[in-house]
């Protein structure tokens, strides 16, 4: 028995073809017996209920001339795209649509005219079922043009046409209001942000102005400028101090002369001696030459043997020698005692006092300024850091205000254009038409299912027949049946009457049966095709099948004769 099972396991493709050929008639009959009833029954099954699909297309076009920017002015349409399905066919939109179409008229209502609890449940289920049959697809999505198709599938062809058209019309009505509302809300928000930014900028500018006024003239970019200014002030203080000394000495001399003015002799009563002005000139000239020498050595990188350096050193040496030889004081004025000079001495005394007072005031002013700079140098780090922080805050506030102002201007211009109906244009590019041919089920799907089912049914019959068949047709069958090796040829001994009957069956009955089966399958397929694609002819076919077939043959036969 083990060998028998092993033999049966070794089935080749040739064996399968041999079995199929042996039971070809049974296979064909089984296929037809399944396909024909299936095709006839499909139109009456709820799974193959005819459904119609209506498609409406609406266009959303934005005028490029009214677009001021891509950041805010178009962000509202971009934000609407993710919610397009909800806005078009959401619960609220669907409830409005079914109310317009009168789909809730037959629902139970109370005495007040409102839907009862049962009616509300039925309405909610209706909204849910209809929403599931709606499909929204963006066919074209560009910067300025959007084409959106709304498809609805339903067993009622009128509803399949009217519902998508109603959804599109309602959305066009609502979309403009939605865009205006969102632009208005954004405009109000941005306006508040602009006001806050202006207040922030004003406070920052005021704080910076107060700081600059408190530290006016003492906010350089680096501390070296403060040191240079301090050196300049020190030099000015030394110069004013020398002037004050000279003026004080002059005042003392004039006061002494005033006491001796009563003496009237031919000789001068006093000789005024003061600092030699030539010394100041030589010192100033020496300082200039020293600065030139320092610059030549540090900036120009000249050595001590360079001609320019040697010349400057020689000039400085000559000036130093001249300073040594020049007397520090010289005779500035001789005063002679006479009554005619009283008035002149009085005027000179007043002028000398004024000069002393002026130099003292200037000296005090410069000293105060020098003290301020010295304090500023000591606090340069914190002051400079605070000033730079104020500059940064002012710049950031200006940038922030500019950004908010630009966004506000963009939204305000977009809102003005939208209110004037010059920016976004919404219109129904294509409304759903009256539906005659169902979109579901597909003819190819129904024919394919019938054919596949028939092939499987016929194959099952062949498998069962072969399984139950105990006849021996070849040595392999004998070996599998008896469990013994069989050699030679096995053949059936057919008597003449049986042979004649088989010939009649093969060449007469089987072709006729095959034609009948093909005709049955063709008629069943025609029934499904007419049911799906031509309701008018389907009504004629169901009313008078033979008359319809005769009419169809009369139309087809001349074309066949002409072709062949």
Q: How many whole angstroms from its chain centre is CA 104?
A: 43
Quote the pLDDT of residue 196: 92
At residue 65, the pLDDT reads 52
Please choose, from the candidates 545, 230, 225, 512, the residue with its C-alpha nearest in 3D space to the C-alpha of residue 373.
230
Would you state the structure tokens that stand for residue 486, as one six-digit string?
């069989």
Q: Is 70 helix (H, G, I), strand (E, B) or coil?
A: coil
How many angstroms separate the most distant Cα atoms in the chain? Answer: 194
The sign of the torsion formed by the CA atoms of 552, 553, 554, 556 equals positive
Looking at residue 290, its pLDDT comes to 84
**Quick check: helix, strand or coil at residue 207?**
helix
Show the 3-state SS of 21-52: HHCHHHHHHHHHHHHHHHHHHHHHCHHHCCEE
CB 198 within 8 A of CB 401: yes
Smallest Cα–Cα separation from 153: which of 42, 41, 49? 49
Within 8 A by CB and 6+ apart from 457, the residues are: 30, 31, 33, 34
- Structural element, H or E, at residue 231: helix 223-259
Q: What is the tens place of the pLDDT at every residue in 173-211?
A: 777 777 788 888 888 898 899 999 999 989 998 888 887
| DSSP state at residue 421 | T
DSSP character at residue 215: T
CA atoms within 13 A on the CB side of 215: 19
Q: Return phi, psi of residue 29, to 5°.
A: -65, -45
Cross-strand pairs, 61:
145, 425
Would residue 59 be called left, alpha or beta, if left means φ above 0 and alpha means ψ between -120 and 50 degrees?
Answer: beta
CA angle 228, 233, 235 (to 5 degrees): 95
Reduced to 3 states (helix: H, G, I; strand: E, B; else coil), residue 332 is: strand
DSSP string, 109-154: B-TTSSB-HHHHHHHHHHHHHHHHTEEEEEEEE-SSEEEEEEEEEE
Nearest CA among 278, 289, 275 for reference residue 323 = 278
Residue 423, pLDDT score? 65
Residues of the chain with pLDDT under 70: 1-11, 62-83, 143, 215-227, 258-274, 299-301, 331-343, 376-381, 420-425, 472-475, 477, 488-494, 564
DSSP 62: E
- Residue 288 exposure: Cα atoms within 13 Å on the Cβ side: 8
Contacts of residue 212, Cβ cutoff 8 Å, sequence gap at least 6: 219, 387
Closest CA to 264 of 331, 341, 332, 334: 341
Report pLDDT for 69.
46
pLDDT of residue 135: 87
Q: CA-to-CA distance for 548 and 315, rounded, in angstroms?
A: 136
3-class state of residue 349 by DSSP = helix
User: Which residue is associated with the tokens 């999505």?
Assistant: 141
User: CB-hemisphere CA count at 13 Å for 197?
Assistant: 20
Domain ranges within the chain, ordered by starting residue: 2-41+470-533, 284-326
Q: Report the side by side order of strands in the sheet with 145-154.
A: 134-141, 145-154, 52-62, 424-430
Inter-residue contact 253 to 270 (CB < 8 Å): yes
Strand partners of residue 268: 336
| C-alpha 358 chain-centroid distance | 72
Pair 24, 459: CB distance under 8 Å: no
Q: How is 235-274 classified by DSSP, letter by letter?
A: HHHHHHHHHHHHHHHHHHHHHHHHHTTT---SSEEEEEEE
Q: Where are the beta strands (DSSP E) in 276-319?
A: none
Rounded Cα distance between 406 and 423, Å, is 19
Euclidean distance between the first and the last CA atom of the chain, given in angstroms as a whole number:
60
Closest CA to 153 of 381, 360, 440: 440
Whether the Cβ atoms of residue 416 and residue 248 lie closer than 8 Å to each other: no
Give the residues across from 427 on adjacent strands: 59
Cα(428)–Cα(412) distance, integer angstroms: 28
Structure token pair of residue 421: 């109906």
What are the DSSP calls for 425-477, one per residue?
Answer: EEEEEEPPPPP-S-SBS-HHHHHHHHHHHHHHHHHHHHHHHHHH-----SHHH
**What are the φ and ψ backbone dihedral angles of 486, each rounded to 5 degrees?**
-125, 130
Q: Which residues contact 349 (CB under 8 A, 6 or more apart)?
A: 251, 254, 255, 258
pLDDT tens-digit series, residues 50-98 = 888 888 888 877 665 555 544 444 544 555 566 677 777 778 888 888 8
Q: DSSP character for 64?
A: G
pLDDT at 399: 92
SS3 147: strand
């Amino acid at each position: 028995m083990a060998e028998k099972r092993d033999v049966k396991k070794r089935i080749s493709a040739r064996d399968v073809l041999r079995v199929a050929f042996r039971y070809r008639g049974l296979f064909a009959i089984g296929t037809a017996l399944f396909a024909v009833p299936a095709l006839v029954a499909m139109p009456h099954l709820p799974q193959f209920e005819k459904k119609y699909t209506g498609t409406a297309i609406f266009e959303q076009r934005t005028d490029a001339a009214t677009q001021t920017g891509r950041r805010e002015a178009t962000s509202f349409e971009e934000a609407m795209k993710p919610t397009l399905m909800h806005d078009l066919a959401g619960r609220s939109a669907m409830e409005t649509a079914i109310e317009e179409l009168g789909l809730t008229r037959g629902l139970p209502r109370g005495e007040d005219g409102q839907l009862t609890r049962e009616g509300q449940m039925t309405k909610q289920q209706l909204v849910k079922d209809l929403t599931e049959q709606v499909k929204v697809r963006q066919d074209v999505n560009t910067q300025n043009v959007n084409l959106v198709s709304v498809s609805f599938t339903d067993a009622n062809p009128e509803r399949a046409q009217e519902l998508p058209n109603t959804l599109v019309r309602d959305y066009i009505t609502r979309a403009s209001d939605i865009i205006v509302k969102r632009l208005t809300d954004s405009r109000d928000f941005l306006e508040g942000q602009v006001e806050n930014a202006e207040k922030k900028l004003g406070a920052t500018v005021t704080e910076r102005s107060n700081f600059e006024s408190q530290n006016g003239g003492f906010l350089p970019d680096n501390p070296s400028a403060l040191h240079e200014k301090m050196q300049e002030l020190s030099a000015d203080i030394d110069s004013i101090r020398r002037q004050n000394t000279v003026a004080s000495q002059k005042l003392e001399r004039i006061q002494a002369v005033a006491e001796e003015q009563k003496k009237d002799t031919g000789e001068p009563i006093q000789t005024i001696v003061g600092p030699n002005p030539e010394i100041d000139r030589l010192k100033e000239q020496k300082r200039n030459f020293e600065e030139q020498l320092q610059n030549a050595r540090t900036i120009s990188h000249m050595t001590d043997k360079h001609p320019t350096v040697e010349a400057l050193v020689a000039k400085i040496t000559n000036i130093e020698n001249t300073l040594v030889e020049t007397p520090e004081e010289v005779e500035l004025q001789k005063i002679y005692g006479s009554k005619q000079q009283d008035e002149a001495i009085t005027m000179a005394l007043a002028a000398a006092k004024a000069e002393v007072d002026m130099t003292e005031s200037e000296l005090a002013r410069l000293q105060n300024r020098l003290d301020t700079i010295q304090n500023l140098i000591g606090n340069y780090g914190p002051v400079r850091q605070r000033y730079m922080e104020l500059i940064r805050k002012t710049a950031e506030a200006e940038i922030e205000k500019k950004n908010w102002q630009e966004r506000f201007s963009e939204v305000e211009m977009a809102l003005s254009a939208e209110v004037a109906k010059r920016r976004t244009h919404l219109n129904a590019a294509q409304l759903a038409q009256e539906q005659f041919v169902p979109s579901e089920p597909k003819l190819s799907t129904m024919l394919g299912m019938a054919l596949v089912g028939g092939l499987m049914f016929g194959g099952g019959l062949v498998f069962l027949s072969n399984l139950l068949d105990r006849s021996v047709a070849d040595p392999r069958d004998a070996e599998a049946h008896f469990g013994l090796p069989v050699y030679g040829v096995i053949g059936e001994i057919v008597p003449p009457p049986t042979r004649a009957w088989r010939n009649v069956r093969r060449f007469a009955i089987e072709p006729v049966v095959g034609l009948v089966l093909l005709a049955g399958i063709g008629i069943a397929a025609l029934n499904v095709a007419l049911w799906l694609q031509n309701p008018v002819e389907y009504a004629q076919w169901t009313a008078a099948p033979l008359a319809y077939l005769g009419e169809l043959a009369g139309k087809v036969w001349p074309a066949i004769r002409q072709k062949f």
